[in-house]
Amino acid sequence: MNLREALEISLEYENKVRDHYKMGLERITDPVGRRIFSTLAEEEQCHVDFLQNRLACLDQPGTEPVPFDPVVHPEWVAAAKRKMERPPSDAIASHTDIELVKLALKLEHETSAFYRSLMNKLKDPEDRKLFEPFIEIEDGHIAIVQAELDSLQGIGFWFDFKEFSLEAG
């Protein structure tokens, strides 16, 4: 696979995930879920902008490449990983919210798997370096989205909100 193909396919993945978060913002009712979808939509847009710039650099010699400045929220990822270690409890969110977050999780898993596969298909080490940060970012997104799913299903704490079941003893 050459760099152009990698950029074009990556752009398709990033657009699909970004569009899901944007669409989800109109439908998700959970306030924390809305905040997460908003932030991740912005992050995915940064990925789209970066990939579009790299394609422009290939198409238009002299185009200035922008540096990739991934927006990663390490505190969110750390909180998400801690949250996933807690045992589940009763579901508390709407079916629609849960389905939106489940689809987001599926898209993030697909995108992460794509970047891992892409790294094996690119022959040029410089091309691989261009995509290396995406693996860590997408893995972080998976942790955040999984923790939000757990949160919507009533599992412990998320973003400083205590979640509990009145039926828990």
The pLDDT tens digits along the chain (169 residues) read: 999 999 999 999 999 999 999 999 989 988 888 888 998 999 999 999 999 999 999 999 888 888 887 666 666 556 555 554 544 444 455 678 899 999 999 999 999 999 999 999 999 999 999 999 999 899 989 988 988 888 787 765 444 455 444 444 4
CATH of the domain at 18: 1.20.1260.10
Q: Which helix (H) or strand (E) holds 133?
A: helix 125-152
**Per the domain annotation, does 100 fall within a domain?**
yes
Number of domains in the chain: 1
Q: Which helix (H) or strand (E) holds 161?
A: strand 161-162
**Per the domain annotation, does 144 fall within a domain?**
yes
**Per the domain annotation, does 72 fall within a domain?**
yes
Tell me the two tokens of residue 110. 């697909």
Q: Residues 35, 40, 43, CA angle at the centre, nearest 5°?
A: 130
**Per the domain annotation, does 152 fall within a domain?**
yes
How many beta carbons lie within 10 A of that of residue 47, not counting itself?
A: 24
**Can you give the pLDDT at residue 107?**
95
Q: Residue 147: give the domain boundaries.
A: 3-157
